[in-house]
Amino acid sequence: MSKTSIKVKNISKRFRIGLKNERNDTFIGDITSFLKSPLSNYRKLKKLSDFTDQENAKDIFWALKNIDFEVKQGEVMGIIGSNGAGKSTLLKILARIIDPTNGSAILNGRVASLLEVGTGFHKELTGRENTYLNGTILGMRKKEIDKKFDEIVEFSGIEQFIDTPVKRYSSGMGVRLAFSIAAHLEPEILLIDEVLAVGDAEFQKRCLGKMESIADGGRTILFVSHNMTAVRSLCDKGILLDSGSMTYEGKIDEVVKKYLSNIYSYSGEINWLKPDEAPGNNQLRLASVKVGSNNEYTGTVDIFKDFNIEVEYWNLEDQAKRTVSVHLYAPDGTMVFSSSNIGSIPINPDPLDNQRLSIGRYKTICKIPKYFLNNGQHTISVYISAGRPNFKTILTQKDILSFRVEDGGEMRNEYHGPWQGAVRPRLDWSSEKIE
């Protein structure tokens, strides 16, 4: 049984935001004010760290509230949440940069943190000097750092700048070196906060590969990122933070799914219970539009799974013909396709195409194959016409439902940046030598 690397117990963190008293316009004014009334101003400064009164006052902000979780040795934990959810605050507490207001965190092992670009760097020192400084902070001897130094420099890709002061580095160079140091100096626990967003695609690939090898070596990683593809590819489990509270913990796919369903206000379906409340007319009324599979309509579909667009309607005119059409739009508003249940269009002919229908409720399903749409938000418009020969449109519902296609990473283990295009079909490719 694996031992516990990180144990977080009832951690909360609060800040006092702003000052109730007016501030002077200048720094000199502040100094003058303090010298004139030192005791009064001392009390004001002390009050900033005093939370005993008015626990829920307007100027008190709770960044974290009662966070509890454990991470076993060798696990990779993803911490997911919107901006301001408390992810960075949590990692800063674990890295001992700030103290919690309540609770405790026990970390068993040497900890390396990469919380922002250049974390732990002295700007006036060179890359070489900062490498040895960071290694010393981690408790390593000079001989140990010497053995790893060439590997660190090679991985970072900044060999020609290693003796240049860090203050002259670009953000990309800084994060390359910082990650390389943190990854190669063999910490038992590695804390990473959204730093991969700075690197290019090649660097992302190398970093993710390195983190996988670190985890395989029995070390523990806490990974904060808004890149769900990278999170899914790397992490075993995850926690979801929302407004400082931990709202969900479980397998990483489940946590990501929960997060996406929260940040996008997509229910995956829209329904009307009664015909007289639904859009339409005395010929036809729309009953529902749904996106999903296996009777699950969450508003999020996986790119590597088939899913359906389902349209239900009440036909109110006996012996009428009905044709259902769907227009689908990409995240940038480009129409991806227009399709309908006309007999010549589907792979398998719709048995009700151009048939005269009795009064009743009907369902029409458009099946979307896996590996077809690109990831991102998509929007559906629905049109229902009277059928052949005139195809007169009797119901129009533009932008009636939005859903999100989520990339699970199966098709692009080598690259985690944006993928261009409205569609992403899985096509046959082959190569051969011809001369």
Q: What is the pLDDT of residues 293-337, one digit of tens each?
A: 888 888 888 888 899 999 999 999 999 999 999 999 887 678 899
Q: Are 71 and 5 in contact (CB under 8 A)?
A: yes
Specify if 87 maps to a domain: yes
Cα separations in angstroms, 287 against 20, 276, 284, 340: 55, 10, 10, 18
Indicate the pTM of the whole model. Answer: 0.57
Specify if 412 maps to a domain: no
Distance (Å, whole) CA 123 – CA 101: 31
Specify if 291 maps to a domain: yes
Higher pLDDT, 219 or 271: 271
271 membership: H or E segment, kind and range:
strand 269-271
Q: What is the mean pLDDT of residues 167-196?
A: 80
Whether 253 shows a pLDDT value over 50: the answer reads yes
Largest distance between two CA atoms of the chain: 92
Q: What is the mean pLDDT of residues 99-125?
A: 81
* Residue 231 shares a structural domain with residue 304: no
Q: Domain with 329 in it: what CATH number?
A: 2.70.50.60
* Residue 184 shares a structural domain with residue 325: no
* Residue 104 shares a structural domain with residue 235: yes
Cα separations in angstroms, 384 against 338, 342, 352: 13, 12, 14
Specify if 433 maps to a domain: no
* Residue 256 shares a structural domain with residue 285: no
- In the sheet where 189-193 sits, what is the strand order? 102-107, 4-16, 60-72, 245-251, 237-242, 76-80, 220-224, 189-193, 111-114
Q: Collapsing DSSP states into helix, strand and coil, what is residue 214?
A: helix
∠ CA 414-415-417 to the nearest 5 degrees?
170
Specify if 425 maps to a domain: no
* Residue 289 shares a structural domain with residue 335: yes
* Residue 32 shares a structural domain with residue 160: no
Whether 284 shows a pLDDT value over 70: the answer reads yes
Say what the pLDDT of residue 20 is.
Answer: 47
- The domain in which residue 301 lies consists of 269-406
Say what the pLDDT of residue 199 is.
Answer: 57
Share of residues in the chain with pLDDT > 90 (%): 30
Distance (Å, whole) CA 109 – CA 71: 13
Distance (Å, whole) CA 88 – CA 375: 27
* Residue 257 shares a structural domain with residue 383: no
Specify if 417 maps to a domain: no
Q: How many CB atoms lie within 10 A of CB 132?
A: 17
Say what the pLDDT of residue 424 is.
Answer: 84
Q: Domain with 223 in it: what CATH number?
A: 3.40.50.300
* Residue 167 shares a structural domain with residue 62: yes
Specify if 317 maps to a domain: yes
Share of residues in the chain with pLDDT > 70 (%): 82
pLDDT in tens, 64-74: 999 999 999 88
- At which of 263, 294, 322 does a domain end? 263
* Residue 212 shares a structural domain with residue 131: yes
In the chain, how many domains are there? Answer: 3
